[in-house]
């Protein structure tokens, strides 16, 4: 039986968050982004979008389109607080919630919706409850796979609800422009258009070997996606107890080493705190690097002794980064502590010679963690 996968996407999240904090911004043209000359729009309110302002647009261009637009800086700490409320709300519907980014989640609703006779009414109620509890707006897509659910949630914004069944694919999915397809980037779409691939349906029905050559190994995956098959496994953190990780997307692609290092520091602190909270240690440290062209690589190293301290996680993450970074612009970085197990506290009789150095080293690491925790919060 096909699964029921829901993708929930918060509408204009950063802009909405600012309106929640400052209601006087409601109904106004507003963008969240950088203030520098090279700064870009991270999120635009729907009022700003009505004036032609879009995400990833330079701030100076947004000002040209609307001289009265309100420009606010990004406040990740505040947005993460609201995002946590969002995820907690969804976990009230299903234990299988996969956080895709700060403003979107996949939820396995196979159990929750198996006896629902009117899914639109059910999902509308979910939308309304989310707004009542958090003041956040969302669009919802429901389908048998994660790809289709994500495509569905993007079809009606804001506050839309779209259901795609496999029998609906040719009617609802295939007519969409190829650049609207998740997984087809801004560089790939023009290449496909030169090969007369203008819609998703064109891609589904092509026999042109040049298309397969351009897409490479990704070709077979895409063909499965657009026919309603592929990944339908929602992986929640609870399902993956051998890993504790965190990742963040920069609002502007960057190759600024200090900015990247600061993000690794923040992520390392988050992973360390979560590992210590759950009394977990790991022996493998992995980092993720996603470049501006969306190419993603991971790098990992396994150590002999389990660890969960901030100082070791951050130091080892930066070591991996320094060994593998060659200066490209980066879109996202991540840190994960893997091969983890619950900390076992053993009652061991130590000799006088066993105590001195280990206790001093442990205290030093603990002091470093406490210091970094204070300066980063």
Q: 238: part of which helix (H) or strand (E)? A: none
Angstrom distance (rounded) from CA 152 to CA 9:
10
Maximum pairwise Cα distance, the chain: 78
Tell me the residue length of the chain.
Answer: 377
For the purposes of burial, counting CB atoms within 10 Å of the CB of 344, is it exposed (0-12), middle (13-18) or buried (19 or more)?
Answer: exposed
Q: Tell me how many degrees the CA angle 358-360-364 measures, rounded to the nearest 5.
A: 115
180 part of the active site: no
Answer for the pair 204, 224: CB distance below 8 angstroms, yes or no. no
Answer for the pair 230, 222: CB distance below 8 angstroms, yes or no. no
Q: How far, CA to CA in Å, does 212 sit from each of 191, 302, 373?
A: 12, 37, 50
Q: Which of 24, 104, 233, 328 is catalytic?
A: 104
Virtual torsion, Cα 92, 93, 95, 96, nearest 10 deg: -130
Residues labelled as active-site residues: 104
């Amino acid at each position: 039986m096909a699964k029921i996968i829901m993708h929930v996407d918060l509408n204009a999240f950063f802009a909405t968050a600012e309106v929640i904090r400052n209601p006087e911004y409601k109904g106004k043209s507003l963008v969240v982004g950088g203030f520098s000359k090279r700064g870009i729009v991270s999120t635009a309110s729907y009022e700003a979008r009505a004036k032609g302002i879009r995400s990833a647009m330079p701030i100076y261009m947004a000002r040209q389109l609307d001289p009265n637009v309100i420009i606010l800086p990004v406040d990740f700490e505040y947005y993460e607080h609201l995002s946590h409320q969002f995820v907690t709300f969804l976990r009230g519907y299903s234990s299988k919630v996969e956080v895709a980014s700060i403003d979107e989640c996949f939820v396995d609703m196979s159990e929750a919706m198996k006896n629902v006779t009117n899914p639109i009414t059910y999902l509308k109620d979910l939308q309304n409850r989310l707004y009542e509890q958090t003041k956040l707006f969302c669009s919802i897509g429901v389908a048998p796979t994660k790809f289709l659910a994500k495509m569905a949630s993007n079809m009606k914004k804001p506050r839309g609800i779209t259901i795609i069944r496999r029998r609906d694919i040719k009617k609802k999915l295939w007519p969409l422009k190829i650049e609207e397809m998740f997984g087809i980037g801004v560089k790939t779409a023009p290449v496909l258009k030169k090969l007369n691939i203008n819609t998703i349906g064109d891609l589904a029905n092509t026999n042109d070997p040049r298309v397969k050559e351009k897409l490479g190994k990704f070709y077979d995956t895409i063909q499965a996606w657009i026919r309603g098959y592929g990944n339908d496994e929602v992986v929640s953190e609870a399902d993956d107890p051998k890993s504790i990780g965190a990742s963040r997307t920069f609002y502007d692609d960057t190759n600024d080493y200090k900015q990247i290092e600061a993000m690794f520091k923040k992520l390392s602190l988050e992973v360390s705190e979560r590992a210590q909270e759950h009394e977990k240690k790991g022996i493998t440290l992995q980092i993720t690097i996603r470049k501006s062209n969306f190419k993603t690589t991971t790098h990992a190293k396994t150590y002999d002794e389990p660890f969960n301290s901030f100082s070791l996680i951050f130091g080892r993450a930066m070591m991996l980064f320094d060994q593998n970074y060659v200066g490209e612009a980066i879109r996202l970085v991540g840190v994960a502590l893997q091969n983890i197990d619950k900390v076992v506290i053993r009652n061991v009789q130590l000799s006088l010679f066993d105590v001195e150095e280990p206790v001093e080293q442990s205290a030093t690491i603990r002091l470093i963690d406490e210091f970094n925790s204070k300066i980063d919060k």
